[in-house]
């Protein structure tokens, strides 16, 4: 499987030194899942966009601290790229910001949620039952760090998992059993210690103390990163 990572965010320098950048974290996740792959990455923030669209089996859009609604050149360019990839029917998977920008590019609406920050471990419930979701089950828990959400999903999207806090947690596109694109609000690539450091860095700054403390406490709970990510790849028929 040839994976092209569209890198849309950077972690603070001390975190990148410890855990790697987003492409490295996804590389570690693929290794953990025993999924064979070749990986290229593109630093979109520095306007490094792919020139060859044909040599990729899977496009992967990472998380980011940016908002998809920000008027920034590379974000607008990425939206056009998402539309092009989707129309080519090449599989796309989006994570957090990637989840949001696929929805925005294909006709949905993303904004800062009035519910505020979601951080720590969140649990999601299955809303419909495509065959590929059976190995995930009726619920899964994942690591989150976001205040933006997909408020209105595109017409061609199906909500597979959601919660009261985040109703559109996993979306798939075009066909519920054989999607062209699939996306997830949580971070299957994060390690517990990485998210813990992110929350601690932001608590009392951008994240209110009570929400941050609850998020840190929730990190004691079990999460389902490997269990949830592999079925997304199977749904896209890339493994």
Mind listing the pLDDT tens digit for each residue in 123-139?
Answer: 999 999 999 999 999 99
Instruction: Return the pLDDT at 226.
Output: 85
**What is the rounded distance in angstroms from the CA atom of residue 103 to the CA atom of residue 94?**
9
Residues 6+ apart with CB under 8 A from 8: 44, 45, 61, 62, 63, 64, 66, 78, 97, 98, 101
Q: For the chain, what is the mean pLDDT?
A: 97
Output the CATH code of domain 2-235.
3.40.50.880
Kindly state the DSSP code that residue 236 receives in the 8-state scheme. T
Instruction: Return the pLDDT at 231.
Output: 96
Domain spans of the chain, in order of start: 2-235
Q: Is 180 helix (H, G, I), strand (E, B) or coil?
A: coil
Q: At what angle do helices 22-32 and 225-235 cross, to 10 degrees?
A: 90
Instruction: Return the pLDDT at 47.
Output: 96
Instruction: Return the pLDDT at 223.
Output: 95
Residues in the chain where the model's pLDDT stays below 70: none
Structural contact between residues 172 and 182, judged by C-beta atoms closer than 8 angstroms:
yes
pTM: 0.97
Instruction: Return the pLDDT at 77.
Output: 98
| 139 φ, ψ (degrees, to nearest 5) | -140, 150
């Amino acid at each position: 499987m040839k994976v092209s990572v569209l890198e849309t965010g950077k972690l603070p320098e001390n975190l990148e030194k410890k855990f790697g950048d987003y492409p490295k974290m996804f590389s570690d996740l693929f290794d953990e899942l025993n999924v064979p792959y070749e990986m290229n990455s593109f630093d979109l923030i520095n306007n490094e966009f792919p020139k060859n669209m044909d040599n990729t089996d899977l496009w992967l859009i990472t998380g980011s601290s940016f908002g998809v609604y920000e008027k920034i050149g590379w974000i607008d360019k990425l939206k056009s790229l998402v539309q092009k990839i989707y129309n080519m029917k090449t599989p796309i998977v989006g994570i957090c910001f990637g989840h949001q920008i696929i929805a925005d590019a294909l006709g949905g609406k993303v904004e800062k949620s009035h519910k505020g920050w979601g951080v720590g471990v969140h649990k999601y419930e299955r809303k419909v039952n495509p065959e590929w979701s059976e190995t995930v089950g009726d619920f899964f828990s994942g690591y989150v760090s976001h205040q933006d959400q997909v408020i209105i999903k595109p017409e061609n999207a199906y909500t597979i998992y959601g919660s009261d806090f985040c109703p559109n947690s996993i979306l798939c596109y075009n066909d519920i059993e054989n999607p062209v694109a699939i996306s997830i609000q949580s971070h299957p690539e994060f390690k517990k210690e990485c998210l813990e450091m992110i929350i601690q860095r932001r608590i009392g700054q951008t994240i209110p103390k009570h929400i941050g403390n609850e998020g840190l406490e929730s990190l004691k709970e079990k999460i389902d990163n490997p269990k949830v990510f592999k079925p997304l790849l199977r749904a896209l028929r890339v493994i």
